[in-house]
Structure 1
Amino acid sequence: MSQASFENICVFHILDGLREGLSHFSSPSRVAVVYAVGRGEPPRICDPQGLLEGHEPKLQDYFLYSSRWRSREDIEGLHILSHEETDLDLSGIISLAARSNSVCYQMWFTEEHPDMCSLGPTRSWLEYAAEMLSQHFAIGNVMGLDTAGFMLQHCAVHAIRDFIVDERSRQVGLDTQIRVYPFLDAILGVSATKEEGASPRGRIVVVEPSELDQVRFVCRFPQDEQPQTANFKHVRKLLQAVEDSGRVLVSDGTSVLGIAIGPMPGAYLAAQFSGSYGFLWIRNQLVCSFSDGRFRSSNLRANLVQLEEQLLETDMSMEKQNALFKIASTMVNRVRDRKHGCTVVVDMAREPMVMSGQHLEEPLDLTRTSQLKLACSLAKLDGAVHIGRDLKLHGFACLMDGRSVPGENRARGARFNSALRFTAEHEDLVVVVVSADRPVSIIKDGVELTALCHFHHVCGLRRPPLLAEWVMS
């Protein structure tokens, strides 16, 4: 096999496995890589889904008009470059660069989604891809490339574990006795275990054994009776003792030591179970969420970027734009947390339209916390809540009607399709539709602004082009 063919197959399998894995951990994700195999070779780029389009000037300045990315020294193993060394700062892009003897330079890129808890696990994932590429170029054999791609599809737990270890090492040093893998397994196992039909709620904290004397224990279990975290059913039952309270279960990572209250010492790990979903923390730093037996990068907050963009296009003052956005965000996230659907009509006209529904003698002032809470409760009723640019609630249980429009989706409910029809006939409205199962749609002018972009499937690649040719084309 020629070098060009090997290079093509190697880059394709690793890039495709990485893309598949990140798309399951986050929203659908694109991946790209810029690399140079030999020390004096020009850089090549593999960007099959157009992730780096629009960033050509910075790539050109860094790779073509400068040679600071090139190494003049032999490198043993894989050397990951710091963010300061790469100095690209591409908006909306996570990147990681590395050097090795087999691949002189490589920089991997993927999307930075706005709802990510932390960029750390994704960067660890990119590091795996860099290590795979270096290893297979060093071996020069295509036999293990299928396995490499498969491994990169299923790296969520390993990426989270590596980020936790690196972050705790940075905060407290390398001297740690906490085993992270058993705790991560316990999180997924407990989250999927129901007790009398109810999903788990409560908090488990993992503390460094050397710092346990700083924990305020309410009670401790004898050493020979400490429940193992691997016994998911037992831990799930114990969580009932700390549910809806300030108490937490305290663990060393493999056993539950007792129940405690108050602040925890050091760079502790914490898993917050909130029913069907939960969050993993390092101290007060959010790492990721978990639900349905899987870890995810999402912070589970509604992504209302498109609403914010629509508000920016109005003639409202920046102060009013921010206030209206915060009101809509509060209502949407509270509704999602309570797991019932709703429809929020954001009316940006100078004079709010009259909608068919329940009106009020005096509109509710949503800048007041008590009235905003009332509006969130009114959102439970069938029909839409109507918010004006004056930051007031003008109606609730409002009906939306209109003629049929293209783009209606029978797989979606009446809220979604009614919003499509209604906004198609009223141009000053943006409608936010919250489904009971948490998805959020933002609709304007009869079009869903939040519709997912389905990237074309990558079936195979030619040899990646030179970066200079790619920039020119």
Structure 2
Amino acid sequence: MSDNSFESVCIFHILDGLREGLSHFSGNSRAALVYAPRMDSPPRIYDPQGLLRGHEPRLMEHYLGSDAWRAPECTSSDVTFLDESEYKDLQLAGIIPFGGRSRGLQYQMWFTEEHPDMCSLGPTRRWMEYAVRLFAQNYELQNVRNVDTAGYVLQNCASHAIRDYIVDARSEMGFLDTRIRVYPFLDAVLGISRTKEEGAWPRGRLVVIEPDDLGLVRFICRFPQNERPRLTDFKHVRKMLQAVEYSGRVLVSDGRDIVGIAIGAMPGAYLAAQFGGSRGSLMLKDELVCTFTDGNFHSRNLKANLVQLEEILLESRLEMESQHQMMRLVHALVNRVRDRRHGCTLILDLGHMLVPTAGQRFEVPPDLREPGQIKLACSLAKIDGALHIGADLKLHGFGCLMDGRSVPGENRGRGARFNSALRFTAENENLVVIVVSSDRPVSIIQNGIELTAACDWRQMAGCPTPPLLADWLEG
């Protein structure tokens, strides 16, 4: 197999594995690569799904307008990762870059999407670090039988990426000599999250403290050394979590056993898992590292993504203060409804004249800016039908029905709420409908179109030779 042919196959499998793995971790994700085998080589690009389209001027300036990205020849077979300053120089909005240099591959820079609802970029960067290492190693070895394996490895790296990020972050905090093993903790978090007790999902907080810092913990009670539940005994730990549900108390572990129950601030660079039913959050001190649900880790936070609504409000005739209050009210309503695991529909009527809706009305519409009215609205959201909220931030009706003529884009798999919202907004201007499903997805619909629809990127096929960056920039 020629060098160019192997290069194409190697890049295809590694990028496809990276893209597939990150899509499971963060939602639909694309990936791209800019590389130069030698420092005098012209840069090449592989961007099969158009991730870097729209950034052509900055790429041209960085790679073709300057040689600052080139460096003295790297003679080490081990990979040297690029400095943070080199990522900042690129200045690509919404893109996460990560790259390195090695003897066999003098320059490589990988790119993927920075989703707006990501908890932390750390695990994704560690994931891209694996891609850098695998590309450098396989490019130097030139063994085509290893390439397939490299792609499969990158598809299932969530726990490894999270573990490596936590270890690196704790090292930067000064915890180089640690007795906490992160892998067993991550396994325990997923194992406990999948374990029901009397039909209920786990709730409560589990904290892992460095054994040397246990003396600084404010324990309510401690368990005898020989009677402590093992962290690996998921069923036992799940039962113990019942003692800290809906309280300020936490289960404290030394990384191996459950030491006791405590309250107050925790010392050191502790790890924490907050169980909230069928989902939860993984923390390093006060930093949200990732979330977990359905037995898997994810980079997405647990908050509703309402970016499209914010853009709609900015283009509306509402005053800035009203826009801010509307966003605050919708965030509160959506997140409370999602936490209670029932769906609802919100009709945001942004026009001066309210659109007539068939539903239950009030003698005096409650002002949702007043204390306590949000809780009332959340309770009314349980009733079949939609909440009708006006531009005056008042609740004008509940249990409202939506209907209209059939429109393109209807999906029987999405249920009556979704399809009714498509029809209703298609026939009424100045309306935005927010559909919150009981399984947590949030859809924002306007003019008969779902603005939050995920884009299905075309699948990559074949192993084309990556073009020169200069040719790619020309179109």
> Normalized against structure 2, the TM-score is what?
0.98
- Aligned with 2:366: secondary structure? strand
- Aligned with 2:378: secondary structure? helix
Q: Which residue of 2 aligns with 1:57?
A: 57
Q: Which residue of 2 aligns with 1:242?
A: 244
- Would you say the 8 A contact 1:83–1:96 is kept in 2? no
Q: Which residue of 1 aligns with 2:110?
A: 108
Query: Equivalent of 2:182, from 171, 180, 183?
Result: 180
Q: Which residue of 1 aligns with 2:338?
A: 336
1:81 and 2:82 correspond: yes
Structure 2 runs not aligned, ≥5 long: none
In structure 1, what is the Cα distance between the partners aligned to 2:303 and 2:159? 22
Query: Which deviates more, 313-322 or 20-29?
Result: 313-322
1:3 and 2:28 correspond: no
Query: Equivalent of 2:409, from 398, 404, 407?
Result: 407
Instruction: Write out per-residue CA displacement over residues 283-314 of structure 1, whole angstroms, 9 at most, x where no aligned residue.
Output: 11000000111001111211111111111111
Instruction: Write out per-residue CA displacement over residues 229-250 of structure 1, whole angstroms, 9 at most, x where no aligned residue.
Output: 1111111111111111111111
In structure 2, what is the Cα distance between the partners aligned to 1:352 and 1:80? 58
Structure 1 segment 182-261 matched on structure 2, within 5 A:
182-261=184-263
In structure 1, what is the Cα distance between the partners aligned to 2:195 and 2:452? 33
C-alpha deviation, 1:176, in angstroms: 1.4
C-alpha deviation, 1:73, in angstroms: 4.0
Instruction: Write out per-residue CA displacement over residues 27-83 of structure 1, whole angstroms, 9 at most, x where no aligned residue.
Output: 110000111111210111100000000001111111111111111143421111232
In structure 2, what is the Cα distance between the partners aligned to 1:93 and 1:394? 42
Q: Which residue of 2 aligns with 1:311?
A: 313
In structure 2, what is the Cα distance between the partners aligned to 1:368 and 1:84? 48
In structure 2, what is the Cα distance between the partners aligned to 1:33 and 1:315? 43
- Aligned with 1:11: secondary structure? helix
Instruction: Write out per-residue CA displacement over residues 78-116 of structure 1, whole angstroms, 9 at most, x where no aligned residue.
Output: 111232223212111111121111111111111111111
What is the one-letter code of the residue matched to 1:197?
G
- Aligned with 2:144: secondary structure? coil
1:390 and 2:372 correspond: no
What is the one-letter code of the residue matched to 2:79?
L
In structure 1, what is the Cα distance between the partners aligned to 2:233 and 2:116? 36
In structure 1, what is the Cα distance between the partners aligned to 2:305 and 2:86? 32
1:353 and 2:355 correspond: yes
Q: Which residue of 1 aligns with 2:48?
A: 48
Instruction: Write out per-residue CA displacement over residues 423-448 of structure 1, whole angstroms, 9 at most, x where no aligned residue.
Output: 11001101001111111111111111
Deviant stretches of 4+, over 6 Å = none
Structure 1 runs not aligned, ≥5 long: none
In structure 2, what is the Cα distance between the partners aligned to 1:360 and 1:398? 12
In structure 1, what is the Cα distance between the partners aligned to 2:226 and 2:440? 43
Q: Which residue of 1 aligns with 2:14?
A: 14
- Would you say the 8 A contact 2:73–2:106 is kept in 1? no
What is the one-letter code of the residue matched to 2:365?
P
Query: Which deviates more, 183-192 or 361-370?
Result: 361-370
What is the one-letter code of the residue matched to 1:39?
M
In structure 1, what is the Cα distance between the partners aligned to 2:138 and 2:165? 24
In structure 1, what is the Cα distance between the partners aligned to 2:369 and 2:107? 53
Count of residue correspondences? 473
Q: Which residue of 1 aligns with 2:269?
A: 267
Query: Which deviates more, 77-86 or 406-415?
Result: 77-86
In structure 2, what is the Cα distance between the partners aligned to 1:268 and 1:82? 28
In structure 2, what is the Cα distance between the partners aligned to 1:431 and 1:197? 34
Query: Equivalent of 1:370, from 366, 369, 372?
Result: 372
What is the one-letter code of the residue matched to 1:325?
M
In structure 2, what is the Cα distance between the partners aligned to 1:10 and 1:297? 27
Q: Which residue of 1 aligns with 2:38?
A: 38
- Aligned with 1:122: secondary structure? helix
In structure 2, what is the Cα distance between the partners aligned to 1:252 and 1:366? 46
C-alpha deviation, 1:350, in angstroms: 1.4
What is the one-letter code of the residue matched to 1:446?
G
C-alpha deviation, 1:315, in angstroms: 2.0
- Aligned with 1:58: secondary structure? helix
Aligned residues with identical type, % of pairs = 63
Instruction: Write out per-residue CA displacement over residues 343-399 of structure 1, whole angstroms, 9 at most, x where no aligned residue.
Output: 000111012223211111222211223112211211111111011111111111111
- Aligned with 1:15: secondary structure? helix
- Aligned with 1:470: secondary structure? helix
Q: CA-atom RMSD, angstroms?
A: 1.1
In structure 2, what is the Cα distance between the partners aligned to 1:369 and 1:13? 56
- Aligned with 2:28: secondary structure? coil
Instruction: Write out per-residue CA displacement over residues 139-186 of structure 1, whole angstroms, 9 at most, x where no aligned residue.
Output: 111111111100100000000000100111111231211100000000
What is the one-letter code of the residue matched to 2:197?
E
- Would you say the 8 A contact 1:172–1:266 is kept in 2? no
- Would you say the 8 A contact 1:346–1:388 is kept in 2? yes
In structure 2, what is the Cα distance between the partners aligned to 1:353 and 1:63? 54
- Would you say the 8 A contact 2:39–2:73 is kept in 1? no
In structure 2, what is the Cα distance between the partners aligned to 1:388 and 1:350? 9
- Would you say the 8 A contact 2:388–2:396 is kept in 1? yes
In structure 2, what is the Cα distance between the partners aligned to 1:14 and 1:463? 14
Structure 1 segment 161-176 matched on structure 2, within 5 A:
161-176=163-178
- Would you say the 8 A contact 1:365–1:391 is kept in 2? yes
Structure 1 segment 122-141 matched on structure 2, within 5 A:
122-141=124-143
Q: Which residue of 1 aligns with 2:151?
A: 149
What is the one-letter code of the residue matched to 1:460?
G
- Aligned with 1:350: secondary structure? coil
Query: Which deviates more, 80-89 or 347-356?
Result: 80-89
1:428 and 2:430 correspond: yes
- Aligned with 1:442: secondary structure? strand
C-alpha deviation, 1:267, in angstroms: 0.9
What is the one-letter code of the residue matched to 2:7?
E
Instruction: Write out per-residue CA displacement over residues 251-281 of structure 1, whole angstroms, 9 at most, x where no aligned residue.
Output: 1212211111111001100000111011000
Structure 1 segment 432-443 matched on structure 2, within 5 A:
432-443=434-445
> Normalized against structure 1, the TM-score is what?
0.98
